[in-house]
């Protein structure tokens, strides 16, 4: 979510910024996902992936990307280590 707002508000040449903002708005509209739903999805991904790997939670970026016909969920998760034993939720 933070990555979304950083892209939306950082200083760049105005035409490039406008094009990127429009792209983000169109992707979110096409996918029909609010920023709150995207943030909830990110939290759920963190919970599930943390069972199997150690990673830098602060560096995770989850975004939507699209071309003319599809929308894709893109997650950038810097992995520190793969866990060798499964951590159970009841443990």
The reply to whether 89 falls in a domain is no
The reply to whether 53 falls in a domain is yes
What number of other Cβ atoms are within 10 A of residue 36's Cβ?
9
Number of domains in the chain: 1
Strand 53-55 to 79-82 pairing: antiparallel
Radius of gyration for the chain, computed over Cα atoms and rounded to the nearest angstrom: 16
The reply to whether 48 falls in a domain is yes
Q: How far is CA 73 from CA 31, 61, 62, 84, in A?
A: 10, 10, 7, 27
Q: What is the pTM of this model?
A: 0.55
The reply to whether 87 falls in a domain is no
pLDDT on residue 90: 55
Domain span including residue 9: 2-82
Q: What confidence tier does 2 reach under pLDDT thresholds 50, 70, 90? A: low
The reply to whether 24 falls in a domain is yes
Q: How far apart are CA 61 and CA 78, in angstroms?
A: 9
pLDDT on residue 62: 85
The reply to whether 33 falls in a domain is yes
The reply to whether 90 falls in a domain is no
Q: Which of 14, 21, 81 is nearest to 50 (CA)?
A: 81
DSSP bridge partners of 62: 75
The reply to whether 88 falls in a domain is no
pLDDT on residue 29: 63
Q: What are the pLDDT digits (tens) for 15-68?
A: 777 776 666 666 656 667 777 888 888 899 999 999 999 999 898 888 877 777
């Amino acid at each position: 979510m933070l990555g979304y707002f950083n892209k939306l508000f950082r200083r760049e040449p105005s035409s490039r910024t406008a094009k990127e903002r429009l792209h983000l708005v169109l992707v979110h509209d096409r996918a029909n996902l609010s920023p709150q739903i995207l943030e909830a999805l990110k939290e759920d991904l963190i919970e599930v992936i943390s069972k199997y790997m150690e990673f830098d939670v602060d560096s995770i970026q989850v975004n939507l990307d699209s071309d003319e016909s599809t929308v894709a969920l893109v997650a950038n998760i810097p992995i520190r280590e793969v866990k060798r034993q499964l951590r159970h939720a009841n443990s």
